[in-house]
Amino acid sequence: MDKIYLNQMMFYGYHGLFPEERKLGQRFSVDLILELDLSKPGKTDQMEHSINYGAAYKLVKEIVEGEAVNLVEALAENIATQLLLDFSLLQACNVKVYKPDPPIPGHYQSVAVEIYRERKQ
């Protein structure tokens, strides 16, 4: 399957289990892999045969910067579900959500959750 990548989209959200996370907020980064057949847009050079990257970015931004959830897992699931609902050409998506500054002690770059969802036939 062909793929469209949107990498390291940066947002500020209020997700987490702890009151401080919900009050102060924190950074989140999201990577998407959108799977669909790109042969038709490749031949026709017409956007209606593909997925508009700007629209996908806007959708993710609205979810990450929108209503708070407790878990990064829920955030990733919400993104995948809405992508499959909004983009009829999308066959599957891989969503990876990074939380660079979770409130856990130690030295690490980030924590992340990655999910893969396919359109149900």
pLDDT per residue as tens digits for the range 21-57 = 999 999 999 999 999 999 999 999 999 999 999 999 9
Residue 13, pLDDT score? 97
pLDDT tens for each residue of 76-101: 999 999 999 999 999 999 999 999 98
Q: Which long-range contacts (CB under 8 A, 24 or more apart) does 64-68 make?
A: 64/11, 64/13, 64/15, 64/28, 64/30, 64/97, 65/11, 65/12, 65/13, 66/13, 68/13, 68/14, 68/15, 68/16, 68/22
Residue 32, pLDDT score? 98
CATH T-level assignment (fold) for domain 2-118: GTP Cyclohydrolase I, domain 2 (3.30.1130)
Whether pLDDT at 121 is above 80: no
Residue 30, pLDDT score? 98
How much is the pTM?
A: 0.96
99 is catalytic: yes
